[in-house]
Copies of this chain bind each other. A is one copy, B any other.
């Protein structure tokens, strides 16, 4: 490895002068130094720089599942911000597991300047210890109980659940099932509350056998749908609380040859690239994805900027939006009460 000493020796100056030159200060023998740098192909050691400066120029990003298109988009948004900065992203999967998250965080705090986290559960307090290590922490997608003093980029999950419920109500559904995500995550809990609560206000109770809880993974959407179909009286509409579970529901309905939306309407949370191309095109609650990553990374970089750091926590909450496609319709072929419906496809 070629060090700053080698460059200094070849240029006939001291390492201090080479260092000054590299940091843009004026130096008498800059030509000789530049030549030495080029000829030796010198690049400063990141480890040595980190040790001296206390900064790693690295951001830790922990998501539950990078193959979930939502998180992939969020990470891409983050990446687009760091591209023009000296920062890089250290990526880790928690696999929706609190323990794995803990392990990974313990390791990350030693290596990064800041962390963006989508916590596996709301209850886990480990992430708060990250603060002890003086590593700024930003939440994205999911919040933490007691995490109010941290920056966060969230969406209005409750409002999204409400939009889904109102859509089904407007179509005239009364036998409505919810497949929620893990209830100790922010989106799992709030989407359900928004959905079930709105139905309750309209006088429609979701009975326990319709009020199911999955784990945000495709398989649970599939399984829970099968259990719904085995009920003596299956629902006429299903709300699935994230993209992967929605796919699971869709697969199960296909496998059981259920007509959508003829027999059962399906509304999901989070749009998919393939959303408009599915059988049938999915009605979903959509939200900004790439933008969430961009915002989260900007918040974090602001904390890392010595001029701008400090200040109270920024808690950004983005709005969700209903995208009506063809997977929802009035129940049992009955006409929708008092409302014109346009089926949209992108």
Residue positions of A touching B, CB distance < 8 A: 1, 41, 43-48, 50-51, 54, 56, 58, 65-67, 69, 72-73, 75-76, 79, 83, 88-93, 100, 106-111, 132-134, 218, 247, 250-251, 254, 272-274, 276-281, 345-346
B276 close to A251 (CB less than 8 A): yes
Of the candidates B45, B76, B83, B277, which one forms a contact with A278 in the assembled complex, judged by CB atoms under 8 Å apart? Answer: B277
A273 close to B218 (CB less than 8 A): yes
A45 close to B41 (CB less than 8 A): no
Q: Provide the residues of chain B in CB contact with A44, threshold 8 Å.
A: 110
Q: Provide the residues of chain B in CB contact with A250, threshold 8 Å.
A: 277
Closest B-chain residue to A111, C-beta based?
B46
- In the complex the two chains form, what is the Cα distance from A67 to B41 in whole Å? 34
- In the complex the two chains form, what is the Cα distance from A1 to B51 in whole Å? 12
A88 close to B107 (CB less than 8 A): yes
- In the complex the two chains form, what is the Cα distance from A51 to B45 in whole Å? 8
A46 close to B110 (CB less than 8 A): yes
Q: Provide the residues of chain B in CB contact with A272, threshold 8 Å.
A: 274
Q: Provide the residues of chain B in CB contact with A79, threshold 8 Å.
A: 66, 91-93
- In the complex the two chains form, what is the Cα distance from A247 to B273 in whole Å? 8
Contacts A67-B76, A76-B66; A58 near B90 (Cβ below 8 A): yes
Q: Provide the residues of chain B in CB contact with A75, threshold 8 Å.
A: 66, 91
Closest B-chain residue to A273, C-beta based?
B247
Closest B-chain residue to A61, C-beta based?
B91
Can you show 12 pairs from A to B with CB atoms below 8 A apart? A1-B134, A45-B51, A50-B51, A72-B72, A89-B91, A91-B91, A247-B277, A250-B277, A251-B277, A274-B274, A277-B279, A279-B280
Closest B-chain residue to A272, C-beta based?
B274
Nearest CB of B to A259, in Å: 14
A72 close to B67 (CB less than 8 A): yes
- In the complex the two chains form, what is the Cα distance from A83 to B276 in whole Å? 36
- In the complex the two chains form, what is the Cα distance from A110 to B46 in whole Å? 6
Of the candidates B1, B67, B100, B111, which one forms a contact with A69 in the assembled complex, judged by CB atoms under 8 Å apart? Answer: B67
B47 close to A51 (CB less than 8 A): yes
